[in-house]
Chain A
Amino acid sequence: MSAAGLTRASRAHWGFVAAMVHRLSGLALAIFLPLHFLSLGLAFEREAFDGFIAWSNNPMVKLSEAFLVAALAVHFAGGLRLLAVEFFGLTRAQSIWIASAFAFGVGAGLLFLLRAF
């Protein structure tokens, strides 16, 4: 197969899709982390912290937070997939199923927690 053909084939491969999702979710988390820490650091200035928490009740902020929680869960499941392949000798297909099942489980658990309190 030519190099271009191999590249096209790889792009359609589930392993490549999983690697891209893992990288993009990781990048999103890495960009978010300094902002997350900066905002929590406002705890030193009580009024600013209260203002930040009030601002975080804005629906758009909540939506972004939900996106970040999802990114964390997705990156977590993708990481488990990698560890399964590299350290526990599972095949890619097995590990993708396991990570998907785990992500589903974490999602279901979080949904339950959200409704339960």
Chain B
Amino acid sequence: MSPRLYLLQRGTAMVMVPLVIIHLVVIVMAVQGGLTGGEILGRTRGNIAWAAFYSLFVFAAAIHAGIGMQTISREWFGLGNRSATIAGHLFILLLLSLGMRAVFGVYGI
């Protein structure tokens, strides 16, 4: 892992410390009472603050997971340096695109 990747990995981890705590609370509260899809979307739609919160979360998680997957691809899946780097970048792009699509869908922005 290069110094740049190391800092990005640890930096995104630090950013996510408060985000994960809040997300864990949101998860527990969201599943109370067996909600329907309509009820969930009724509460989330148009909520800009939560959309911004989860957009930041998606960006930090995508970078963090992409770097982790790059390391695992090299150490466990036997990919070369170059292939592992490409795999890591593709994973970041995948998470960014699917994650932001989810944010737009759930918050209706």
What is the distance, in angstroms, from B45's C-beta to the closest C-beta of chain A? 9
B residues 27-72 with Cβ under 8 Å of A? 27-29, 31-38, 40-41, 58, 61, 65, 68-69, 72
Chain A residues with a Cβ closer than 8 Å to the other chain, count: 39
What is the distance, in angstroms, from B59's C-beta to the closest C-beta of chain A? 13
B residues 55-109 with Cβ under 8 Å of A? 58, 61, 65, 68-69, 72, 91, 94-95, 98-99, 101-102, 105-106, 108
Chain B hits for A76, CB < 8 A: 17, 20-21, 24
Contact A53 B10 (CB under 8 A): no
User: How many CB-defined contacts (below 8 Å) exist between A and B?
Assistant: 94
Residues of A within 8 A of B (CB): 23, 26-27, 29-30, 33-34, 36-38, 40-44, 46, 49-54, 57, 65, 69, 72-73, 76, 79-80, 82-83, 86-87, 106, 110, 113-114, 117
